[in-house]
Amino acid sequence: MASGGPLVLQAADQPSADLGIQTYAGLAITGTVSTVYSIEYLTDLTQTNSASAWRSLEFLRLPASPYLWPDKSAPIGARRFYRAVAFAVPSNMVFIPPGVFRMGSPSNEVGRFPDESPQTEVTISRGFWMGKFEVTQGEYMTLAGANPSFFNGLREYRGTNVDFGTDLARPVESVTWSNANSYCAALTQLDRAAGRIPTNCVHRLPTLAEWEYACRALTSTRFSYGEDPGYTNLAQYAWYVDNSGNRTHSVGQKLPNYWGLYDMHGNVWEWCLDSYYPYPGGIAVDPTGPDLDTARMVRGGGALSPPGVCRSAARGIGSVADVDDGFRVVLTISSSE
């Protein structure tokens, strides 16, 4: 369990916040502004010292101190006791705050594809953590016990034997969607056992909407760094067909986006959690696609991709058995635990 910061216990039927429409239980938090806290609760005070008894409700970047946080997940009469714990920032993850963005691309965007419309106003209702980098070959080997990557060692490539060398800081690829999920599940078990994450938090693949929201990082342009209609600045942010030498490269060598995420454009395609779905248009909250066994979404483009495919709005589709792709991990609160 993350430690440090203020510990606040109070019953849910004590102070409340009147938000105009509904009255919720309120938790007064005093702490360090801009620090991310895990807001947690239990229902039995005798379990206070049991780390597994606490359940996280939200990752909150404290906007002010003191701050009145409303618990919208339970009725005012529910008996709950709370604490706000300064979350130990994972060294290889970035906090992505909740917010609203437009998913997809406008009809006049250069290089767009038809399935990027209609644009949809999406609310990401809860903050989450996302891997600063794509999962590397070394990380994957440590947890999965194997390295399936094509760009590793001696390989036959386009009729010629090519030695790609051994660079375990390259992103792992040639991973199936199922194996990417298995990696996330194993990482969840490891971090729970070590007490690094609350017991109802999980590592998983990002949803299609979460991925694009994180990639855009408050922008609405073709790339996270601007429009770049002639792709003159893309090489500063991405490994793609024009500069990759037809191979992947160590993560984190290019410039990050505003939120500190690297290689969101290029290097390897990244698996998403959900299956393909046409954008609905209008307004959506935390949208996900259907749960199909045949195909899942990939984002970001790769080292062999043309520049237009590396745009923030571009998306691809792959069979769950495909072995062309990599992934990055998010840490979020499970709604089923």
User: What's the pLDDT at 1?
Assistant: 37
User: Where are any strands of DSSP class E within 237-291?
Assistant: 270-271, 283-285
Burial of 159 (0-12, 13-18, 19+ CB in 10 A): exposed
Q: What is the pTM of this model?
A: 0.91
User: How far, in whole angstroms, is CA 174 from its chain's centroid?
Assistant: 20
Q: What are the tens digits of pLDDT across the range 92-113?
A: 999 999 999 999 999 999 999 9
CATH of domain 94-333: 3.90.1580.10
Q: What are the tens digits of pLDDT across the range 5-30?
A: 445 544 443 333 433 445 567 788 99
Task: Round to whole Å and give the CA distance between 280 and 117.
Answer: 9
Task: Round to whole Å and give the CA distance between 7 and 83.
Answer: 5
Please name the residue that has the structure tokens 């965007």: 109
User: What's the pLDDT at 20?
Assistant: 43
As a whole number, the mean pLDDT across the chain is: 89
| Residue 74 pLDDT greater than 80, yes or no | no
Q: Taking residues 235-245, what's their average pLDDT?
A: 97
Residue 129 has φ and ψ, to the nearest 5°, of -105, 145
Domain boundaries in the chain?
A: 16-88, 94-333
For 40, 48, 189, 212, 225, the CA distances from 206, given in Å and listed in that order, are 23, 32, 18, 9, 21
